[in-house]
């Protein structure tokens, strides 16, 4: 926990870092509103704290809150910039929407961040061996923030001198080219559903982090994506959780901390304390991080029994019964609840989300009972993975002292997506680019995103949405919107996952929109700030802990968005 806290608030922040809580960020943003590197933008956009449904809406009104868009038409780059652009980016191949290969799929330079990051980090005195057991890890198996946080936290702990291993299912969809030194270490057997399953264990290095890949010989983790394969996901993660402990036992490894994440690895604390601790694993203590309480790991007793525990032993209020099902037949279990009860410490990803989870939701009672071991620690972003000064995916690099590269990035994205630059010649002012990069699920404020499209269009701005919708109905709604706008000059909706494009969009953005209904922490607003964009968010969870309203004069040193 302490380590996670250190990660959230790096002690030595590079000068070009816009991390949260960095006073440099506030002054950067203030400067960016006021001075020359951002050209003027006549239309004023602000977030009206609209009382309507207690939600925020984008509105154009005359106000003193002025967001200046980056000058973005090549013809309008100032002379000095144009000169430098010619010399520095003379061989840049500008993209076009009719390119056969979209610009984010072009051959991009290979990028190994393992050697990047602050060099002057002080080592901790009390060094530990930490094992993360996780369903996601960026960039090889990332769906959302969980992947980012596991990688960032592991790298931060390594930098501080700890020994770290990440245990990950060897998903079939993982691109092996991103793994260094990949080698089959051993084959062992792990128990599942009455028999022992031959399981391969590979070792490799991802972004400088040692990773242990667990590959069962059955159908688990096969498919083209991290989630949603044709196998039973709950059973696959039950298998994985036990297989990790089994491997620690077989290999005689006794880490100090086993750090589990989300419901997927929620059975591990139960398996540890009720089984493996009685066998040979004595030393480890268990930390659970709850990244999002949306999923509870609903599980039937007989499913839990498949991993070798007696499921009926956990079907009571003190252990793992899903309180919502009490009195129903059959009652269910919740792996998340079980792991809250059985872990030595529980962390959630922001102080405000901690308060929210203690006040609402059916797990509030359990969390209150375990309040003394429950902590809210703000996530951070990996300042090496998200660094506009070194980011390999950007057509031009930049930092707070040199934003010309950001102008190039914006123009590059506008050209590649066919967002009009002719608007600029009619209008001497340039157009702000609003970017929203998000899983398209109800939590993320889908109706606010669609409202924002309308407002941005009405206001003469531009907007790009990059998102994947796991739900078919949401997918088809956004597909309809994407088609509606595909020929226009101001809105683009890209329904897919692309790590590379996400980097380019953050770099191009003037504004990053995060209108979540609830948000345990949220990384998009932090990444946006690191790439010099202004975050516009709903005040909830971690967004409330990281974005401080420009209109709120009570803490002028913190103001960084709205």
Q: Give Cβ neighbours of residue 402 (< 8 Å, ≥ 6 apart).
A: none
CB of 545 to ligand ADP, least distance (A): 13
| Secondary structure class of 441 (helix, strand, coil) | coil
In the complex, the smallest distance separating the C-beta of residue 314 from ligand ADP, rounded to whole angstroms, is 28
With tokens 């060897």, the residue in question is 170
* Helix count and strand count (H, E) for the chain: 17, 18
Q: How far is the CB of 537 from ligand ADP (least distance, A)?
A: 11
Decide whether 77 or 507 has the Cβ nearer to ligand ADP: 507
Site for ligand ADP (CB under 6 A): which residue of 148, 215, 382, 399? 148
Paired tokens of 3: 């380590």
Contact yes or no for 325/513 (Cβ under 8 A): no
Alpha carbons 547 and 284: distance in angstroms, whole number: 37
Judged by CB under 6 A, the stretch of 4-12, 71-79, 261-269, 436-444 that binds ligand ADP is: 436-444
The correct pick among 145, 152, 204, 216 for binding ligand ADP (CB under 6 A) is 145
Q: With respect to ligand ADP, which residue has the nearer C-beta, 152 or 255?
A: 152
Distance separating alpha carbons of residues 365 and 371, to the nearest angstrom: 10
- State the number of binding residues for ligand ADP (CB under 6 A): 19
**Is 234 among the residues that bind ligand ADP (CB under 6 A)?**
no
Question: d(Cα 72, Cα 412) in Å, to the nearest integer?
Answer: 9
By DSSP bridging, strand 195-206 and strand 257-261 are: unpaired
Least CB distance to ligand ADP at residue 400 (A): 21
CB of 72 to ligand ADP, least distance (A): 22
What Rg value do the Cα atoms of the chain yield, rounded? 24
57, 105, 108, 492, 534 from 479: Cα distances, Å: 23, 21, 28, 11, 27
Task: By CB under 6 A, tell whether 535 contacts ligand ADP.
Answer: no
The nearer residue to ligand ADP, 146 or 431, going by C-beta atoms, is 146
Closer residue to ligand ADP (CB): 131 or 493? 493
Name which of 113, 106, 283 is nearest 209 in CA terms.
113
Out of 248, 523, 547, 550, point to the residue binding ligand ADP (CB under 6 A).
Answer: 523
Residue 151 in the binding site for ligand ADP (CB under 6 A)? no
Task: Tell me whether strands 180-192 and 195-206 are parallel, antiparallel or unpaired.
Answer: antiparallel
Binding flags for ligand ADP, 472-511, as an x/- string (CB under 6 A)? -------------------------xxx--x---------
Q: What is the contact mask toward ligand ADP in residues 87 to 126, using x (rule: CB under 6 A)?
A: ----------------------------------------
Nearer of residues 144 and 535 to ligand ADP, judged by Cβ? 144
Cα–Cα distance list, 96 to 413, 417, 418 (Å): 9, 7, 7
Q: How far is the CB of 524 from ligand ADP (least distance, A)?
A: 4
> Can you give the length of the chain in residues?
562
- Where on the chain is the footprint of ligand ADP (CB under 6 A)? 144-146, 148, 292, 437-439, 466-468, 497-499, 502, 521-524
């Amino acid at each position: 926990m302490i380590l996670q806290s250190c990660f959230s608030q790096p002690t030595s922040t590079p000068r070009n870092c816009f991390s949260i809580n960095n006073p440099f960020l506030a002054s950067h943003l203030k400067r960016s509103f006021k001075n020359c590197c951002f050209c003027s933008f006549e239309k004023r956009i602000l977030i009206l704290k609209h009382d309507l449904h207690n939600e925020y809406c984008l509105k154009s009104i005359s106000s003193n809150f002025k967001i200046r868009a980056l000058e973005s038409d090549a013809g309008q780059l100032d002379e000095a910039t144009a000169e430098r652009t010619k010399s520095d980016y003379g061989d840049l191949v500008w993209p076009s929407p009719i390119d056969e290969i979209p610009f984010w799929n072009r051959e991009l330079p290979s990028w190994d961040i393992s050697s990047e990051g602050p060099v002057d980090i002080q080592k901790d005195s009390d060094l530990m061996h930490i094992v993360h057991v996780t369903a996601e890890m960026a960039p090889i198996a990332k769906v959302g923030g969980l992947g980012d946080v596991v990688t960032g936290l592991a790298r931060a702990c390594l930098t501080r001198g700890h020994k770290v291993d990440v245990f990950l299912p060897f998903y079939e969809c993982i691109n092996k080219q991103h793994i260094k030194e990949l080698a089959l270490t051993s084959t062992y057997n792990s128990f599942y559903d009455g028999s022992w399953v031959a399981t391969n264990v590979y070792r490799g290095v991802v972004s400088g982090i040692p990773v242990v890949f667990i590959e069962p010989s059955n159908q688990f983790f096969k498919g083209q994506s991290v989630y949603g394969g044709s196998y039973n996901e709950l059973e696959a993660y039950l298998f994985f959780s036990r297989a990790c402990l089994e491997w620690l036992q077989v290999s005689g490894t006794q880490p100090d901390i086993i750090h589990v994440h989300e419901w997927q690895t929620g059975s591990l604390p139960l398996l540890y304390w009720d089984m493996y601790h009685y066998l040979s694993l004595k030393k480890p203590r268990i930390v659970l991080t709850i990244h999002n309480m949306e999923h509870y790991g609903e599980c039937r007793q007989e499913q839990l029994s498949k991993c070798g525990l007696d499921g009926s032993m956990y079907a009571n209020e003190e252990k793992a019964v899903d309180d919502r099902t009490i009195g129903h037949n059959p009652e269910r279990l919740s792996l998340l609840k079980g792991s809250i009860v059985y872990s030595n410490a529980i962390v959630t990803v922001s102080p405000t989300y901690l308060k929210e989870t203690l006040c609402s939701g059916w797990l509030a009672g359990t969390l209150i009972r375990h309040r003394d071991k429950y902590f809210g620690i703000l996530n951070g972003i990996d300042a090496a993975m998200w660094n506009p000064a070194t980011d390999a995916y950007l057509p031009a690099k930049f930092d707070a002292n040199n934003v010309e590269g950001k102008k190039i990035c914006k123009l590059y994205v506008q050209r590649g997506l066919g967002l009009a630059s002719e608007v600029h010649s009619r209008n001497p002012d340039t157009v702000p680019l609003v970017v929203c990069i998000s899983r398209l699920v109800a939590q993320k404020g889908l109706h606010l995103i669609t409202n924002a499209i309308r407002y941005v269009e009405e206001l003469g701005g531009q907007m790009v949405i990059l998102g994947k919708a796991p739900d078919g109905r949401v997918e088809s709604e956004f597909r309809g919107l994407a088609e509606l706008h595909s020929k226009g000059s101001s809105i683009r909706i890209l329904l897919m996952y692309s790590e590379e494009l996400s980097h380019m969009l953050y770099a191009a953005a003037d504004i990053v929109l995060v209108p979540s209904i609830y948000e345990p922490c949220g990384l998009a607003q932090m990444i946006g700030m690191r790439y010099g964009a202004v975050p516009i968010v709903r005040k909830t969870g971690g967004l409330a802990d990281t974005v401080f309203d420009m209109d709120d004069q009570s803490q002028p040193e913190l103001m960084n968005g709205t």
